[in-house]
Structure 1
C-alpha cells in the first residue's frame, strides 16, 4: 500500500517563504504528559504568530513511506508497523506532523527549539537513514512500540534527523519528545558542536513538561532558582516566554492531585485546567524574550490507554472528539480536518480520504 504523499514539490517554495516569514514568532508551544488514574495522558498546544490549522491523519499498518532528505547519504524508507494517528499542520507548515500516537500507546511531539538552529552547521551525517522533520513524528510512532525501543534504535544509529534539510528548504531548530503509556519519556535535542543529547525521565521527572528555548539544561538552571513547593507562588513568573511557561507547568503539575474515583471526563477537565492556567497563550501578549506576539491556536488532549482524543480550536473555542480505537478498521490513509469540522458544529470527527495539498 502506498502512503498519502506529504511532500508536494509544488509547494516547497511557498512553504519555505511562509515559514521563514514567521520564524521570529516561533518561540511557543507546550506539552504536558502526566500519569492519571485513567492512564498516561498528554496535553499539547500549537502556538504561533499566524493562525494554524490541524488535520488528524490515520496511517494504518502496511503503508509504505519515504522521507525526502537530499542533504544526506541515506534517506529513511519505512512501512507502517503500528497503526497511528498523526496531527498534521498544513496552513503554515505545509505537511508537518506535529504530534502522533500509535496503537501501543507510544506518542511523539515536535516543538520549536530556536537555540538549536545555530548548531545545525556542526551536525555530521552519521550514515544512518535520515528522517525529515516533516515525517519524523510519524516515523517514530509508526515504527516503535515504546520510548525505550525508539531511543535504543536512535542510539544504535538506526535513524537520524535530517537537520540540514530543515523544513521545505529553510533550516529551523526543533526538538522531539517521545512518551509512552508506561510513563517513560525521552527528549531529543541538538546541542553545541552539533551533538545530539537524549534526556531520559518519566512523568514524575521534569520531562513531564516540554516547552521551547532554552535547551533543557538551561531550563533546569532557571527552575532551580524557584521553590516549586511554595504554594503561595510568590516567585512564579507570569510572562508567556518559554522559560516561564516551562516553570509554571512544573509548578502547577507539582501540586496536581487526581482523584481515583473521578471519571475520565473529570480527569481530563483537571488536566486541561492545569495546563491552561499556565501554558495556554492568550492572543495579543508580548514575549519579553524576543518582543514577539503569538497565541495558542490549536490544542489537543489524548489518553495513551483508552484512546480518547479531544481537539480544541482556540480561534473559535470549538471542540471535536474521537477515539483512536474507532480508526483501527481503516485500511487506507484517512483524514479529518478537525478545525473545519469543529467550526461546523460536529462533535465527533468524520474521517474521509485525504485531500491533496
Structure 2
C-alpha cells in the first residue's frame, strides 16, 4: 500500500532464507456458539515481528507495484482495516488483515506453487501484489463471497508471478474468512491455473490451512488417513512438516466441537487445538526441507468480535487490541496509526495502544 515503508520493499528478503523456511504458517477457523473461532500463526526460520497498521475508510489502498501486469489495483478503502505487517524478516509484507465487518484475510506460503506461477497469464484485471493482498481485500470487500464474486467479475486479479521486492517469485496462497464462516481460498496449480475454493467452515474442510502440498493432495492424504485410523490419534504424525500439521489440524477439527462452550472457553479450546496440531517449537527439523523454523506469533479471535488477542511465542506474552479503539485512534490522529504488538506485549501491557506511525512501520 502507499504508506511509509514502500521504500523498504526493495530489500524484502533473500531467496535463500525464503527457500529454507518454505513450510511455514498455518490457520484454523472453527464454528462456535459465539461465531467463528479463529487462530493463525507466523512460523519462520528467522524471528518475525508484528507491526499493526490501520487503514481508514477512504484511505488510498493502492497495492505494491506488480511489474509485468497491465493494470495496477488501486482504490479507496471501504472498510476500516487493521493489518499485520511483518518488518523483521519480510520488510513490509502483510501476513494478515482484519476489517471492521468481521472478515480476515491471510497469505501463507505455498512452495509448490512457485513452480507454476511463471505460467500464470495476466488477465488485464487490476493486479493486487501478494505483498499486501490481505489489507487490500478486507479494505475493499465485506465478506468472502464478495471477494470471490469480485474476482470472477474481473474486478481484480492476484499478481502471482510478480516479484515480492528482492525476494523474486515465490509461491503463496491467499484466503479470506468472514464472520458468517464463509471462506474463499486462492491457489495456483500446474500450468498457472488459479483454483478458487469457496465454502463454509460449518460444512467444509476450508477451515484448516497449512502449506504444501496443494489442497487436493491434502484431501487425498486425509482420506487415506481416515480410512486407516478414523477416530484415534494412533497414527497421527508428530513431525512439523506442512502435510503433518494440516493432517493434525484436520483430525482435531473433525473430532472436537466447541458447542456449549462460553466464548472464553471456545477461544481457549481453539488455541489448544492449534498448539497441539500446528505450533512449532524451536530447533525441530522439518524432514521435507531438512531445516528448522519455529512459531513466533499467533492471532486469535472470534470473527466479528471487536477484540483480537496476539501472542509472542518466544516469551508466552499475550496482549489484545480492540478494532474500535484502533479506529478511534486513527480518527483522532487524522490518519494512519501503528503499534509494535510484540514490544507492547513484552512490556506487560494488556491492551495495545495505537500511536502515529514511524517510518518503516506500515506498508
In structure 2, distance between residues paired with 1:164 and 1:226 = 34
Question: 5+ residue gaps in structure 1?
Answer: none
Structure 2 residue 178 is matched with structure 1 residue 183: no
1:13 positional shift: 4.3
Q: How many residues align?
A: 352
SS in 2 for 1:135: helix
Query: Structure 1, residues 190-211: CA drift from partner, whole Å, max 9, x if none?
Result: 1111110001221131111000
* 1:108 and 2:108 correspond: no
**CA shift at 1:70, angstroms?**
2.2
2:72 is the counterpart of 1:69: no
Shift in Å, 1:4: 2.2
Separation of aligned partners in 1, 2:232 and 2:71: 54
Question: 1:300 aligned to 2:299?
Answer: yes
2:40 is the alignment partner of 1:44: yes
1:124 partner SS: coil
How far residue 230 of structure 1 moved from its aligned partner, in angstroms, is 3.4
Distance 1:336 1:356, change over 3 A: same
Mapped to 2, the partners of 1:46 and 1:306 lie a distance apart of 22
State the distance in 2 between where 1:132 and 1:281 align. 28
- Within 5 Å, which residues of 2 pair with 1:132-143? 132-143=129-140
Q: Pick one of 84, 88, 109 that aligns with 1:87.
A: 84
Q: Alpha-carbon deviation of 1:259?
A: 4.3
Counterparts of residues 122-271 of structure 1 (less than 5 Å): 122-169=119-166, 170-203=168-201, 204-227=203-226, 230-260=230-260, 262-271=261-270
Q: C-alpha displacement at 1:298, in angstroms?
A: 0.7
Q: Give the distance between the partners of 2:48 and 2:232, measured in 1 at CA.
A: 36
Comparing 219-228 with 235-244, which one deviates more in the overlay?
Answer: 219-228
SS at match of 2:231: coil
1:325, CA displacement in angstroms? 2.2
Kindly indicate whether residue 25 of structure 2 is the aligned counterpart of residue 26 of structure 1.
no
SS at match of 1:79: coil
Counterparts in 2 of 1:269 and 1:108: CA distance versus 1, 3 Å: same
Using the size of structure 1 for normalisation, the TM-score is: 0.95
Aligned partners of 2:74, 2:4: CA distance in 1, in Å? Answer: 13
Separation (CA, whole Å) in 1 of partners of 2:123 and 2:16? 27
CA drift of 1:270 comes to 0.8
Moved over 3 A (4+): 228-231
Give unmatched runs, 5+ long, in structure 2: none
The answer on whether the counterparts of 2:37 and 2:266 sit within 8 Å (CA) in structure 1 is no
Following the alignment from structure 2 to structure 1, what is the Cα–Cα distance between the partners of residues 230 and 79? 43
Distance 2:97 2:11 in 1: 25
Q: What secondary structure is seen at the aligned counterpart in 2 of 1:64?
A: coil
